[in-house]
Structure 1
Amino acid sequence: MTRSPSHPEDRLRIGAVSYLNTKPLVYRLVERLPEAKIVLDYPSRLADALAGGELDVALVPSAELLVHPEWSVVSNACIACHGPVLSVKLLFRVPPAEVETLALDEGSRTSCLLAQMLLQEKQVIAPQLQSLPLGAGPQDVQSDAVLIIGDRAIQCENSEFIETWDLGDRWCRSTELPFVFAMWVARPGLNFSAVSTELEAARDEGVQNLAAVARKQSAEMRLPFELVLEYLSRNLYFTLGNREKRGLDLFYQRAYECGLVPEIMGAASAVCEQ
């Protein structure tokens, strides 16, 4: 039996990412879904909350479908890039081929897989993995390479590092396909037809009002308006189309081939059905 919340104690619980890249996706979403409970958190925490039954719908890292094939993609609204993404960076203290230790940002598992996948092309031996806590910066770890994502990647000072990879750019150049970082998904047993419509409407309105979104966020984050607007309008793409699905299919396949996941399970088919 599907669940269609109609009472306060049974209201829809939606989890959205707290980063700048999500702002166009949640534009006026509270007004569109006044009876829903909307929470903001890091991508990995949202995935854990969805898995634990604390959320019904969430914007989660695309890699989560590798371990949760039972989840359904419920919208063509997503966070993707067709080139440089700016907010997902791999910073090097040594040349890439010499990396022995790699610190991975705890915020998103998709970016962690992507970093290891791209690094494998330069290495013979896989590096020892370490964790970069959510509240820490790249200067707080002494790893040979450090993955950082989200707002702190945009604001990061790279002076102590000898090389920086924009992972969106490296993926798109090597595959000639987009990369999808996050998607709206729902746990089983939920009638999500109504929420799908509202999520896509929120995305459409947010994209139409990128200048207003950028103006507000630049003031709150103390970043130049031009930088924020360019990030939202040029670095990011918010629609899950056929080429994005092909990119996801290739990402899942390569993650398996690189030995980063034990099996592909139903991830690709779950996306292609959307």
Structure 2
Amino acid sequence: MTSSLANAPLRIGAVSYLNTKPLVWGLRERLGDRGRLSFNLPSRLADDLHTGKLDVALIPSVEYLRDPSHRIISDAVIGCRGPVWSVRLLSRVPAAEIKRLALDEGSRTSAALLQILLWEIHGIRPEIVPFAIEQTPEAIDADAMLMIGDRAMHPAPRCYQEIWDLGDRWCRWTQLPFVFAMWVAREGVDVGDLAVALEASRDQGMESLEEIASREAAAHGLTNEDLYRYFAENLHYTLGPEERTALDEFRRRAVSLGLVPETNALNHTP
């Protein structure tokens, strides 16, 4: 059974983190009765897309790589071309000595990215333990932890020997940008002209960063200036040729560690 903007409303899921705000600026109004927009954690969006609870979702790039039937339907993405600020490794020991690693359950892409970087930079594959959304870092029994999203954007205590910004580490290690999430549709779903709405919302969001920052900053314990700079300088919202190359390179490295299956060429629609 297919979905279409011409008949049943598309079920569309977006990430609930701050980094998504410019992508969905005015999107609900643009969709009207053509689609229903909901929000959740990246990992849960991927699960709902896989099980058919959603037709389109902004999912972690590693989840896109794990299912060759999915297709990218827009050039509106969440990426970075340097430090990303909201994806960090906090290590209580030197990174080369990490034996037990807690991975934030919110994003599987960042988990895969960190495992790739630890292997390629230090040649280590630590034991993996979960880091639940409701847990605090102090409650985690691990040498290091991956922290993502809004809770990663505040200063870390001095107890950590190393702190990595994963966007910065990847970009300097590979000389490529990184793509954390993209709009993806399930196989057989007719999205009609949804890409037009997604890209128009992204474009309007980029023109409205000051307004978004002033609306969201205080509730997240950030200054307007800090949040504006996060949107404008730490994040990149367009899937260009370099981002496509970066996705292919991320896939190659993830395959080599068994983090995603070997598949054919990526399914880039736009």
Q: Give the Å deviation of 1:251.
A: 0.5
Show structure 1 runs of 4+ deviating over 6 A.
none
Please give the per-residue CA displacement for 1:45-73, whole angstroms capped at 9, x wherever unaligned. 00000111111110000001222110110
Amino acid in the other structure paired with 2:115: Q
What's the counterpart of residue 197 of structure 1?
196
CA distance in 1, matches of 2:209, 2:5: 31
What's the counterpart of residue 255 of structure 1?
254
What's the counterpart of residue 214 of structure 1?
213
CA distance in 1, matches of 2:184, 2:65: 13
SS in 2 for 1:34: helix
CA distance in 1, matches of 2:53, 2:47: 9
What's the counterpart of residue 118 of structure 2?
119
CA distance in 2, matches of 1:256, 1:158: 35
Paired-residue identity, %: 49
Amino acid in the other structure paired with 2:243: E
Amino acid in the other structure paired with 1:153: A
What's the counterpart of residue 266 of structure 2?
269
- Are the aligned partners of 1:3 and 1:190 in contact in 2 as well (CA < 8 Å)? yes
What's the counterpart of residue 140 of structure 2?
141
CA distance in 2, matches of 1:2, 1:47: 18
- Are the aligned partners of 1:179 and 1:248 in contact in 2 as well (CA < 8 Å)? yes
Q: Give the Å deviation of 1:109.
A: 0.7
Please give the per-residue CA displacement for 1:13-51, whole angstroms capped at 9, x wherever unaligned. 110000000000000111101212111110000000011
CA distance in 2, matches of 1:42, 1:220: 18
Q: Give the Å deviation of 1:90.
A: 0.5
Q: Give the Å deviation of 1:138.
A: 1.9
1:23 aligns with 2:21: yes
Amino acid in the other structure paired with 1:38: L
TM-score, normalized by length of structure 1? 0.94
- Are the aligned partners of 1:96 and 1:122 in contact in 2 as well (CA < 8 Å)? no
Q: Give the Å deviation of 1:167.
A: 0.4
Q: Give the Å deviation of 1:240.
A: 0.2
Amino acid in the other structure paired with 1:105: D
| Structure 1, unpaired ranges of 5+ | none
Q: Give the Å deviation of 1:259.
A: 3.3
CA distance in 1, matches of 2:125, 2:169: 19
| Structure 2, unpaired ranges of 5+ | none
